[in-house]
Amino acid sequence: MPISIPLSQPDITQSEIDAVVEVLRGQTLSMGPKLDDFEEACAKVARRRHGIGVSSGSAGLHTALAAAEIGAADEVITTPFSSVASTNCILYLGAKPVFVDIDPQTLNMDPGQVEKAINPRTRAMVAVEALGHPGGMAELEQIALRHDLVMIEDCCESFGGRLGERPAGSFGKAGVFAFHQNNQVTTGEGGMIVTDDDDFATACRRLRNQGRERPGELVHHGLGFNYRLSEINAALGLAQVARLQEILDRRRMVAHDYIRRLMANPNLILPTLADDTHMSWCVFVVRLNDLFESGDRALVIDKLNAQQIGSSVYFPPIHLQEHVAQRSGCKSGDFPVCEYIASRTLALPFFGSMTGGQIERVCNTLEMILDGLLAREKKRF
């Protein structure tokens, strides 16, 4: 049996281990100086004035919308092609998610369709950078400004990316990063809200700590959440940010090796990047072309996994998830671009320490599987 190639793998060195051990040998495990330093470092990456560390990207999205005072009477525009967290954060507050179909190149909300979804109840927009692609964020920001909407940039998969000269996290009222184990920078579990708005930052800090204005006090200034990020997580993240350029360079090299190896394959659609788009490469996702049937993607994943090569679907349509469909009234066919693309996306193994040999094995195996499926189709006719 060949050696397994995992779908993802964190990039941890001795410096991260030392940073965590230092915290464990100290006396503060929560809301301490490591968190302060990590917040400052993340704000600097996004060129924002404030960073507010939270327990996950999902917690960050929820906190940001709560700080914007989104409630049950409001509608929030968002994408159907994302992690379900970008819709759940709307539902948590009793608001209504209003979906807009996606651009087939960036896989983000199509700016040309967003204004059609705006009505007097529209208060905000959760603008997701799907797969870490920042395309369309400048246009979405302009739409939000024209209509006085609160734009929350869901840049959970984009840490270190750029659109032109603007870094991910710099669009709208606030950006939200995530630091799950397969993200560019990891804290195990964790997230970060970044913003330039002093009052908004104060509200987010209060909300993440059970409504407390300052750590240690027991005065609660309103309803809040337990979304604190521990000193252990913050120390790990701080050590990762210190290595950010190295991490991004290695991930970019792996992505470019994949692209060079697969770009001539007519059976696959690879990530599409404009000249001003600088992805930080959270994942590497390809799409099967029109020659394949709807069930072929599952066969490809099963056959890759049988060869000890990690693979998975990526972002099933949110509007068709049972709890979302029940609340939104959405049904199959409402967002055809999203539904078509979501049925064909395929995540390949991706991490910074991948070797050329591993990439070649993934690509050779994938191509062999695709050729076999197409040969099967030809026999039917």
Q: Delineate the domains of the chain, giving CATH numbers in brackets.
A: 14-99+110-242 (3.40.640.10), 245-380 (3.90.1150.10)
Q: How much of the chain, in percent, has pLDDT values that exceed 70? A: 98
Residue 380: pLDDT above 60? no
Q: What is the pLDDT of residues 306-317, one digit of tens each?
A: 999 999 999 999
Give the pLDDT mean for 331-354. 96
Band the pLDDT of 377: cuts 50, 70, 90: low
Q: What's residue 275's pLDDT?
A: 83
DSSP 103-125: -TTT-SB-HHHHGGG--TTEEEE
- Provide the CB-side half-sphere exposure for 103 (13 A, CA): 23
Please give the mean pLDDT across all residues of the chain.
Answer: 95
Taking residues 127-146, what's their average pLDDT? 97
Residues in Cβ contact with 341 at an 8 Å cutoff, skipping those fewer than 6 apart: 81, 102, 104, 107, 287
| pLDDT tier at 378, thresholds 50, 70, 90 | low
> 150 in helix, strand or coil?
strand
Task: Summarize pLDDT for 277-299 with one digit per residue, the tens.
Answer: 999 999 999 999 998 887 899 99
- Band of the pLDDT at 1, cuts 50, 70, 90? low
Burial degree of 138 (CB within 10 A; 0-12, 13-18, 19+): middle
Please give the angle made by the CA atoms of 141, 73 and 175, to the nearest 5 degrees. Answer: 30
Q: How far apart are CA 11 and CA 5, in angstroms?
A: 15
Strand partners, 176: 154, 193
Query: DSSP label at 131?
Result: G
238 phi, psi to nearest 5 deg: -65, -40
Q: How many CB atoms lie within 10 A of CB 305?
A: 14
Average pLDDT over residues 331-352: 96
pLDDT at 341: 95
